[in-house]
Structures are given as structure tokens and as C-alpha cells.
Amino acid sequence: MAAAGLFAAVALYVFPYYPILNNPNENVRLYMTAALVDEGTYEISTIRQRWGWTNDAACVDVGAGDGSRVPCEGPMRQVPRADDGREYFSVKAPLASWLGVPGYQLYRWWKGDADPELVEALWWTRVSASVLPMVLFFYFFHGFLGRLTRSPIVRDAVYLGTALGSVLLGYALLFVSHSQSAAFAFGAFMLLHHSRRVPAKKLHHGLAFAAGFLAAGTTALEYPCVMVTALLCVQALFAVHWSRWIAFGVGALIPTLLVMHFQDAAFGSPLSPGHLFVENPAFRAIHEGGFFGMGELQWGAVWKLLFHPRLGLFSLTPILAFAALGVVPAFRRRGARLEALFGSLMVVGMYLAVVHLANWDGGWVTGPRYLVVVIPFVACGAALGLDALVRRGGRNLRAAHALAIGSAAASLIAAGFPSLYYPHLPPDLDWPLAHLFPILVAHDFAPYTALHLLDVHGSISMVPVALVFALGVGWAAHGQYRTALWSLPVTALLLALQVVPAGDPEPAERTAVGFVTQHWSPAGHDLPAALARKGDPASLHERLQLLRKEGRDTEALQLERRLAREQQP
């Protein structure tokens, strides 16, 4: 319970929200949730009129009057239709929007007859569709790690690095479906793992039903996860006794029928996803090539998905890199080779699929967006690898534990804090930990938090998060303070790899930092100082005017001398 409480404390405290982005991943799901509750339909035209246009919508032309539904534009259009016969739908898999319904319904009851506000509705739906499901998942995930490992320090360090030190945290704070798809996939995996260890007569039908629901629900949350769903279903043939296959199938049928109902209502066929109906022509062009945008191997993705300082799975969450040491122990575990096989197939299969995607980097993201679904599987490999080090440690037992705690602490800083501050980094920002976040912290940029209700803003509002992170590291160390001290060099080295090679920011990175700082929400930050730190001469002049206005003559004189030096040939 304490493990899940650490995640809940952070996820319910911080509310990163930047209206300038008009985040399509969130808004189009929110619009569909609102349409379901307010109008009993999937169609979002009325909601777009209420809250404004958002991207990632599908445009369906129904103007012919014969019931056929074709894209408003693109190669599938075939025949001309009337412009006034258009309907708009979310292009995303539907289950996330349904998970948001309880939260939005509660919000509407609380709001009464007043008009719903987008930002308020977004908070309620984030909690309903993202935060609470992930709290439940992490409760069971921590217990599962305990059954894999002998060392409680390894168990808790891997849990901490996964729950609060990976991009699972960032996407769990948003009304998207990446983190939930990971929870559903690994939830099914845990149930199937348990099923093989229960005598057939004692295997409850409800457990098999739940495993099937979670397996199919993975794709009902994220279409690209269909490979994971397929592998889980094959695994179920070996893990679930044949007398429970029907229960598994019925469970899997529910989210499958939900997807088919949505696709039939929106796009005219239960087997037609909306990717070819996308309103944005640039997005539609990506999906028109190959299977859901899969085509040629993207060589840049091969290493960037693992080691890039903004996108890399292992660079952002270095504790996961110990999964490389966990492969052999996983296959050597008595009675667990089936799970090791299918877990490995899911990780490798998703990686190979994503490196063939035209939009493999996912745009404005933190971490490998399309690999989020495999993070719990990789975390289990890391737990097995670290546990093997501990068992072989002997006199070096403390060193093995220091590696676990140190890499978990580095994960909190490299992925945890960025996920909380700004979980949608611009593509041009290659070194966020070096070029963006020091500026944000130094100049009082901070996201919305619960303290915002008390009019407390800026970096001080993030102190409770820092305390929770520190408490988490102490909790994972289990009172072994010398081991915790030994872990400090490990943390410093891993973070240095994210900062030292960065060098000076390129012009594109300076522009990206400027965009983030100039469009920050909420207020309570020192924008001119941040822009001056970015090095933009125009921003330096703006800073100089502010210093003169505030009577800070000494600082103004220093800045005047700097400008004079920069203007010299």
C-alpha cells in the first residue's frame, strides 16, 4: 500500500497543463468523453464548438444520404460529397475515453447547470481515466516484483524507478492511454502467470475473464498494441486450462466489441479504424503508408529509442538497463520459461515495430512514447538482473544494492521530474536535462500543483514532490544508510551522462527553450531572467529594462557591459 501511495501522492498533487499546446492527444479523448456523457454519442462536433478546434480528429463525410461513410479528403474519398454532411470523431482507440466517463460524470454533477470548463473537466477525467487505474496497477505490480526477487532493496528500487522514475509517470498524469495500455498488458500477464500456478479446478472463471479483458483492452486503449494483445492471447492458450478458455474469450470479447461498435458508428464498418479518416492531411499521409504507418526501417530510431537523452528508454530510466542482465536468469527460473519467452517477444516485437514507424519519435513527447507499453516487462527483467547481482554479491553485496538505489535515484531526476514539469518536450530539444530544466528550476517555473489553490507558485510548490522522491529513496534503502551513501556516485555518474556531453545549446534548442518558457502556465516565474539565460540578445535587452525599472542598478550595469562585449566585432 505504501508503494502505491508514493505514486498517488505525486500523481494527485501535480497537474501539468499548458493551454497553448492545445494537446490533441488529450483533447480529442476528452471531447469524446464529453460527447458520450452530454449527448450520448461518439460524435464531437458540438463539443468542438464548445471548447474549440483540436487536432487528431477524424472527418467523416456522410453527405450522400445513402448511409455510406467516407473520408472528407484523401485517396479513399473516391466520389465528391457535400461539405455540410460532415461529422467529426476521435481517431484514437475508444477505451480511454470510456474510462474518463465516471470522472466527467462526477464533474457534471458537481458543476450543476453551469457550463463545463475544459481545464476542470480535464482534471476530473485525468484522475478517472489515468491516475486511479495506475494507482491500482502499481499496487499489484509492487507485489509481483516481490515474488520475483529475494532482495527487498532491489524490489523497491526497481518499483521506484518504474513508478516515479519512468515516463509511465508522465503519461499517467495526462488524459492519454500509453500508461494504461502498459497497465492492462502487464495486468493480463500477471494474471496469466498466476493461472499457471493454480490447479485447474481452483482457477476461478473470473480470473480468466479478467485476463482476457485486460489483454484485449490493451488494444482498445492503443491500436498499435495489437501485437501485444495477440501474444497475450497465445500465451493464454498455454497458461489457462482449457476449461477456462471460454471465460478468457468472453473477457476479451467485451473490449473488442466496444472497439467494433465505435468503429462501426464512426467510420461505417466495425473493422475500419479511423486512421485513414484523419482530418489533418500531414497526419493522414503518415498512416496511408504501410500498416498503421509502418514502412522502412528508421535507422535513427534504432539507438535513439534506447539512448537518446530525450527519447531513450535507458538514458531516462537507467535502472531499466539492468534488464540485459535479467534475460538469462528469467529463462533459468524453474516453471517460468513460458513467461520469459512471451515477455521477451512482447518487448522485442514492439521495439521492432516502432523502429519501422514513420513517426517513431511521437512528436512532442517525453521518452519513447510508443514503447511505454513494454516498460513493466523491462522492469521485471531489471529486477531479475539486479537480484542476480545481489545473490552473487558476497562481499560486494553493498555495491550491488548501491547500483540499484543509485540508478533508481538517477531515474527520478532524469525522467520523473521532466515528466512532472513538462511531459511533452519539443522535438528540437535534444538535451532537456542540461538545457531546459536547470532554467526552469532556477527561475521559478513550475506546473500547477495542489498548492496553487493556496496561491503558492514557483519552485517552492515542487518541494513536496522532492520530499516524496527523497522519502522514496530512503524507503527503498530499507534503513541501510551506508548503502544509500554509496549510491550517490552512481547517481552522479548517470546524471553526468545526461548533462556533460550536451555542450552549448544549438540555435534550434534555444528556440525550443524560448517557446517553453514564454508559454508557461501558471504564472509565478521570472521569464525575462530565463530568456536572458537562454542567450537571446533581444531577451537580454528585455531583462535590462526590467532591472532598471526595479532599481537593481548593479545587475543592470553588469548586463550593460555584457551587451557591450557582445556587440563588439
Q: Which residues share a beta bridge with 59?
A: 88
In SS3 terms, 228-250 reads as HHHHHHHHHHHHCCHHHHHHHHH
Q: Which residues share a beta bridge with 278?
A: 58
Give the pLDDT of residue 528: 63
Name the nearest CA neighbour of 428 among 343, 503, 514: 514
| Residue 46 near residue 53, CB atoms below 8 Å | no
H helices within 52-128, ranges in order? 95-99, 101-111, 118-126
Task: Compute the distance between CA of residue 326 and CA of residue 134 in angstroms, rounded to an integer.
Answer: 25
Instruction: Please report the sign of the dihedral spanned by the C-alpha atoms of residue 171, residue 174, residue 177, residue 181.
Output: positive
- What type of residue is 160? L
Give the pLDDT of residue 529: 62
| Residue 413 near residue 495, CB atoms below 8 Å | yes
Task: Compute the distance between CA of residue 60 and CA of residue 487 in angstroms, rounded to an integer.
Answer: 56
DSSP H or E stretch at residue 14: strand 14-15
DSSP annotation string for 506-540: PHHHHHHHHHHHHT-SSS-S-HHHHHHHHT-HHHH
Between the alpha carbon of residue 158 and those of residues 163, 205, 307, 316, 388, the distances in Å are: 9, 32, 19, 14, 14
pLDDT single digits (tens) 50-105:
999 888 899 988 866 666 787 887 544 444 444 567 899 999 999 999 999 999 99
**How far is C-alpha 568 from the chain's CA centre?**
47
Q: What spatial distance separates the first Cα and last Cα of the chain, rounded to whole Å? A: 64
Give the pLDDT of residue 552: 57
The residue ranges of DSSP E strands in 387-491, in sequence order, are: 448-449
Name the nearest CA neighbour of 248 among 220, 195, 197, 211: 211
Give the pLDDT of residue 82: 45
| Residue 190 near residue 140, CB atoms below 8 Å | yes
Determine if the peptide bond prior to 281 is cis (ω within 30°). Answer: no
Pairing mode, if any, of strands 57-61 and 70-71?
A: antiparallel
DSSP H or E stretch at residue 186: helix 178-195
Between the alpha carbon of residue 240 and those of residues 205, 397, 452, the distances in Å are: 10, 39, 49
Which residue ranges of the chain lie beneath pLDDT 50?
75-82, 566-569
Task: Compute the distance between CA of residue 236 and CA of residue 242 in angstroms, rounded to an integer.
Answer: 9
Describe the chain by its helix, strand, coil percentages, rounded to 5.
Answer: 70, 5, 25
Query: 364: which 3 cell numbers?
Result: 512532442
Could you give phi then psi for residue 489, rounded to 5 degrees? -60, -35
Task: Compute the distance between CA of residue 179 and CA of residue 169 in angstroms, rounded to an integer.
Answer: 8
- What type of residue is 215? A
Task: Compute the distance between CA of residue 347 and CA of residue 419 in angstroms, rounded to an integer.
Answer: 22
pTM to 2 decimals?
0.90
Query: 321: which 3 cell numbers?
Result: 538497463
Give the pLDDT of residue 20: 87
The domains of the chain are located at 526-569
